[in-house]
């Protein structure tokens, strides 16, 4: 584990400075990477960059999850376990953010397995391939309301006939939705899948699976921009009440309360991060916490450390 006590304090210090200088962003983008991609946004990153370029001040966050399909490079976590953990991670991240910033608009961008976990979290319906039997939407109603657009690229849950399906595929992916499935947030979603793709469709060109941003990026950006423009709050800080008092006071108070809450969360996180085990920072939820030749944290700041095999243990709920 590369994190150190010093690095943790520097990171938390940076977050504290951000919180003290800014309120919640108007737009917040969650991105989820594809299988075996390194931690971060993976192929979803290019789409996220396009959105941010059109919306100054927008912020983004990568979903932390295994993004694995049994490969040793990602700890040999099975695809099903990875997708299940990822679905939960999306719901937790979105719900927590919405609690902190209830007025911020949210955009979801997921690529391949990253699209699947966002699909599961936003549309519900269960996922037998990932061992998810609960068919309810795990994202809260208040958070769903603030999700304005979801861009899913190469999502293996694709099936022909979806109202939000875009592309040339006329069949389905290896974990396709049931024919006739209806997502309760369908109007907010665009799922891109072409016939050549062997993961979201039944094609044989794996390289095509990586082409969706170049093929459909501009179209997806237009969709996102239209959804965000349709819900932009036009109220200004100069609006006044009947008594002549401006709403600026109320807004300032709300911002101050939000900052206080976020700073408290940062402090709590710092206390958790530096008190686990024998003084070593504990791994975050979904992080590695053990295995042969593992030299990092062996405790979890959230969840419990569960062993998948002799070489990989992970913090899970």
Integer-rounded Cα Rg, in Å, for the chain is 21
Q: Tokens 């009440």: give the residue.
A: 241
CA-based angle 221:226:229, to the nearest 5? 120
Contact 260, 270 (CB under 8 A): no
Task: Indicate if 208 belongs to the active site.
Answer: no
Task: Indicate if 209 belongs to the active site.
Answer: yes
Tell me the sheet residues that pair with 107: 29, 149
Tokens encoding 232: 């932009």
Single out the catalytic residue among 104, 197, 301, 313. 197
d(CA 63, CA 40): 8
Single out the catalytic residue among 60, 81, 82, 209. 209
* Closest-CA residue to 316 (of 279, 280, 277, 290): 290
Contact 105, 146 (CB under 8 A): yes
d(CA 45, CA 101): 23
Which residues neighbour 78 within 8 Å (Cβ) at sequence distance 6 or greater? 68, 69, 70
Task: Indicate if 197 belongs to the active site.
Answer: yes
d(CA 97, CA 193): 29
Tokens encoding 239: 């609006």
Q: What is the DSSP letter of 186?
A: G
Catalytic residue ranges: 112, 197, 209
């Amino acid at each position: 584990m590369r994190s150190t006590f010093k690095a943790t304090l520097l990171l938390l210090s940076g977050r504290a400075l951000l919180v003290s200088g800014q309120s919640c962003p108007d737009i917040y983008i969650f991105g989820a990477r594809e299988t075996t991609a390194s931690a971060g946004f993976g192929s979803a990153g290019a789409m996220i960059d396009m959105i941010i370029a059109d919306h100054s001040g927008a912020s983004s966050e990568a979903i932390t999850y295994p993004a694995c399909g049994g490969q040793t490079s990602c700890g040999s976590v099975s695809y099903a376990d990875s997708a299940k953990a990822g679905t939960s991670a999306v719901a937790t991240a979105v719900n927590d953010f919405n609690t902190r910033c209830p007025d911020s608009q949210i955009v979801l961008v997921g690529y391949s397995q990253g699209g699947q976990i966002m699909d599961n979290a936003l549309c519900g319906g269960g996922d037998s391939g990932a061992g998810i039997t609960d068919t309810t939407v795990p994202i809260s109603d208040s958070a769903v309301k603030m999700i304005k657009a979801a861009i899913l690229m190469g999502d293996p849950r694709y099936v022909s006939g979806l109202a939000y399906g875009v592309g040339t595929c006329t069949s389905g992916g290896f974990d396709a939705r049931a024919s006739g499935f209806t997502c309760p947030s369908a109007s907010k979603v665009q799922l891109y899948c072409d016939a050549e793709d062997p993961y979201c469709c039944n094609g044989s060109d794996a390289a095509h699976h990586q082409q969706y941003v170049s093929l459909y990026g501009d179209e997806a950006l237009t969709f996102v921009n239209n959804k965000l423009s349709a819900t932009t709050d036009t109220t200004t800080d100069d609006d006044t009440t009947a008594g002549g008092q401006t709403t600026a006071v109320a807004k300032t108070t709300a911002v101050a309360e939000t900052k206080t809450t976020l700073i408290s969360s940062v402090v709590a996180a710092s206390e958790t991060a530096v008190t686990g085990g024998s003084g070593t920072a504990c791994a975050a939820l979904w992080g590695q916490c053990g295995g042969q030749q593992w030299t990092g944290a062996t405790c979890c700041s959230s969840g419990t450390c569960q062993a998948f095999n002799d070489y990989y243990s992970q913090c899970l709920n």
